[in-house]
Structure 1
Amino acid sequence: MKDPAAPDASEGHGGEHGPRLSPVDPVEPGGPVQEPPPVRRRSWALDTTPLRNRAFRRVFGGVAVTMLGQQMTLVAVPYQVYELTGSSLMVGLTSVVALVPLVVFGLLGGAIADAMDRRRLMIITSVGAAVTSALLAVQALLPGDGHISVLWLLAAAVSAFAAVNQPARSAVIPAIVGPDDVAAANALSMTVRSAGVIVGPLLAGLLIGLGDLSILYTVDAIGFVLAVLLLRGLPSLPPAGVSGPLRLGAAVRGVGEGFSFLRTQPVLLMTFVVDVIAMLFAWPQAVFPELSQTTYAGNANSLGWLFAGVSIGSLLMGLTSGWVSRVDRQGAVVLAAIAVWGVAIIGFGLSSALWLSVLCLAVAGAGDMVSAVLRSSMLQTAAPDEMRGRMQGVFIVVVAGGPRLGDLRAGVLASSVGVSAAMWSGGIVIVVAMAVVAVAVPSFWLFRASQADELAEAARRRMAD
């Protein structure tokens, strides 16, 4: 999970928007040096402006050290389930096992992130994730290549810790870098994640070939330990208006308050709806083990390439994402990007060649990268600080829960009508659905990034009333 890199020497005061960390360094005795903001180059290259900020470098570094192990684990768990059961349906059910704690703790974690120091919350959950990954390594060494019940229990624990950690780390981004750099910061983080999702599955495929899953889980545990060390260098990051100790009852009530708030914000609500549609009808991961042992059995590392395919496209898009951080018509571009995802999944479903399947997955990943960066930015800038944790909690539930429901759908359909039909039918649904959303919810289609501050301020006034 993300974990920061040397805090800025001064925190400053963000008023009702929460603490602001000065991106300028060094800090002189008289206060932070006010230097003119860096001039952005209007190019396609990845915008690295947020890396001038010490605290964000820690956040960014934390993503880098955990991504490899996390992605190796995401390959190892479904592979181990398929080895134990020989069923794609059981692979899909494993995703549902992880979905329940993700929903419960994602929503609760978002409320907790709005009620306590977010730095402390990130440290606690990262320690828990490190312990859980170590236990996964131990179970992989048990006689009989592990046990499905133990594997499911630990997979649920992984989801629970991630669900509490991620809302907090996403909610701190605007406070660390400021609203103008939120999209660029998201693009940087998602690009390094995409690199990990490419290298991780490919390396996992090679290590699985050696027959030792415990190594994959051990790398994950080490990554979280490093993340904790990075997080310790951040300053305190309480949400706006929070100064006392956490009251669990208030956090639980905060979940309901978050949903009440969301019902009054159709633009924010639709950022979740469109992603649920995309993931539910076209997430392909559950069929990868079956394809690797049937259609693409002739390729020794077809499993690794399939798992890496989406992130190959995400990485390439991330490296050329300078234009994404400058998009103003964010709602319209999100709908177009998800439609691209749907078209690419149609191609994946119809393909019978590994190289073409990976290419289609890469195109899908490029569309998903654009959608994810812009949807994250819309949530982080158009919601007031005191609601950001809860909005990110819902975001995590949708982003991580959607693929798990998609896994179940793909597993069920692949077992009944075949892998190809399961995929191309879902892609068609997505393309049609995005056209319907554009017509039915014009406020989302017309949303502009330049309106985000006004939307957040209006929401804040409505909450005060």
Structure 2
Amino acid sequence: MKKALIDLGPLRVRTYRRLWIGQVLSGFGGQLTFVAVMFQVWDQTSSPAWTGAVGLAQALPLIALGLFAGTLVDRLERRRIYLVTTIGQWLVATVMASQLLFGRVPVGVLLALIAVQASFGATAGPVARTVLPKLLSRDQLAAGIALNRIGFQGAMLLGPALGGVIIGAWGVGVCYLVDAVSFLAALYGVLGLPRMQIETTAKPGLRGVWDGLQFIAVTPVIRGALITDLAATVLSMPISLFPVINAERFGNNPRTLGLFLTAIAVGGVVASLFSGSFTRLPRHGLVMLCGSAGWGIALLLFAFSPAPWLALACLAVAGAADTVAVVSRSTIVQLHTPSELLGRVSAAEQIVGQAGPDLGNLRGGVVAQLTSPVASLASGALLCVAAVAAVAATTPGLSQRDGAEAGVAH
């Protein structure tokens, strides 16, 4: 039983522990800011189009700059890049917190600040992923990724609820202030990192981007891992369907709607707490495939669940399966990517992980409009399982032990 619990071994590494604490605190502050921005935009505009623009302001810099940012991470000393991007995000958070003194800025200015912060994040994300192999041994990587995941999930669970309380009591400015302070914890963690010079630097511009994409294309396990994640998110992301399913099947109860998202998060946290049961396994590819297929099967059952309690149970299972898949995918990327390419591959992983759900929610809404919510969710879930099976059949390296010959680029 003890081995099934989350492996806390990486926290004994001082530099990792310091970085992890900073990331958890800054992630919590980021959730407060997300809630505050959504509230402020709605309060100033009363327009769902403007609140939708918040996601666009976050996604566009990531898509436009992500691969070039990965090339930058593979060219320059990584600790310095991490410091610059963290300081940049902190400065933007400080400007947003200045609304406490000078009053609210126009919505356009607020979205511009969000886009600037996302631009720094487009580089901060990949460089953060390249740090782990420098701090942890090969057999600790999966456990370190699981710890990062549970920190993110904890912030997702507690941050929005506390953000609502803070906004109600003191206003959005206090949320921005807490976020700005939390970035100081992140900065403290980054300052404790060693210098991480790269032996072979990436080519500049498009040539460097092309080398990264080419490596992904010719490395079966990396290609299969990213395709599997796209299958799970683009084909079967259910969140955009929650309101209409709740209205049609469960009486449009707002408490049930809120519990849908909570159930996914709770399932993810439980899976993280017991992540030792899968991070210690030698076949991370096979674990990822099972987790992704489990996500699709759980959503298929959710589509036809007749009672709220059963629907919530299915979503909790889906959240747990998603965590298993995400942790295993990231471990595969870390184990099978050379250090000099890790920035670019991590940038591609970040784009897939963040843009895929947005596309999946769009697909779900469009198909539901043309058919029905249940048909949209069920068809997406079935397509997800079929796509995962196709990846498993065409990428035998994913089912082999890590480090096997099949995991090396051909």
Using structure 2 for the length normalisation, give the TM-score: 0.86
The aligned length equals: 408
CA RMSD of aligned residues (A): 3.4
> What is the 5 A alignment of 1:453-464?
none
Q: Tell me, yes or no, if the aligned pair for 1:166 and 1:393 is still in contact at 8 Å.
A: yes
The match for 2:80 is 120
CA distance in 2, matches of 1:358, 1:188: 25
The alignment status of 1:261 with 2:215, answered yes or no, reads yes
CA-to-aligned-CA distance 1:387-421 (integer Å, 9 cap, x gap):
11111111111111112222333454566666555
Decide which structure has greater helix share. Answer: 2
Which stretches in structure 1 are left out of the alignment for 5+ residues?
A: 1-40
Alignment partner of 1:69 out of 29, 40, 54: 29
Unaligned regions of 5+ residues in structure 2, if any?
none
- Aligned to 2:198, what secondary structure does the other structure show? coil
Question: Could you say which residue in structure 2 is the equivalent of 1:12?
Answer: none
Distance 1:300 1:263, change over 3 A: closer
Amino acid at match of 1:174: P
Structure-1 separation of matches of 2:100 and 2:294: 39
Equivalence for 1:446: 399
1:38-57 equivalences in 2 (<5 Å): 43-57=3-17
Distance (whole Å) between structure 2 residues aligned to residue 205 and residue 353 of structure 1: 29
> Is the Cα–Cα contact under 8 Å of residues 106 and 397 in structure 1 kept in the other structure?
yes
Match for residue 182 of structure 1? 141
Structure 1: distance between partners of 2:170 and 2:302: 29
Q: 1:445 to 1:236 in 2, by over 3 A?
A: closer
- The CA distance in 1 between the partners of 2:17 and 2:136, in whole Å, is 10
Identify which of 133, 152, 156 aligns with 2:115: 156
1:197 paired to 2:152: no
CA distance in 1, matches of 2:241, 2:198: 41
Aligned pairs for 1:239-278 (under 5 A) are 239-241=198-200, 250=204, 252-278=206-232
CA distance 1:207–1:91, shift in 2 (3 Å): same
Q: Using a 3 Å threshold, how does the CA distance of structure 1 residues 407 and 76 change in structure 2: closer, same or farther? A: farther
Matches within 5 A, 1:24-35: none
String of CA shifts for 1:435-462, please: whole Å, max 9, x gaps.
22222x13244232142xx578x65xx8
Superposition map of 1:347-366 within 5 A = 347-350=301-304, 356-366=310-320
Shift of the 193–443 alpha-carbon distance from structure 1 to 2, 3 Å rule, reads same
Change (3 A) 1:100 1:323: same
How far did 1:161 drift? 1.8
How many Å separate the matches in 2 of 1:152 and 1:356?
39
Shift of 1:346: 3.1
Q: Any idea what the Cα deviations from partners look like across 1:85-129, whole Å, max 9, x if unmatched?
A: 554x76556434432210222211211111112111111111222
Maintained 8 Å contact 1:125/1:162: yes
Equivalences for residues 302-313 of structure 1 within 5 A: 303=258, 305-313=259-267
Superposed displacement of residue 383, structure 1: 1.1
Distance change (3 Å), C-alpha of 1:300 and 1:72? farther
Residue identity matched to 2:198? P
Select which of 92, 111, 127 maps to 2:71.
Answer: 111
Report the counterpart of residue 171 of structure 1 in structure 2: 130
Instruction: State the match for 1:132 in structure 2.
Output: 92
Partner Cα separation in structure 2 for residue 434 and residue 140 of structure 1: 49
Match of 2:388 in 1: 434
Q: 2 CA distance for matches of 1:412 and 1:91?
A: 19
- Residue matched to 1:3: none
Paired letter, 1:263 = A
Distance 2:277 2:371 in 1: 41
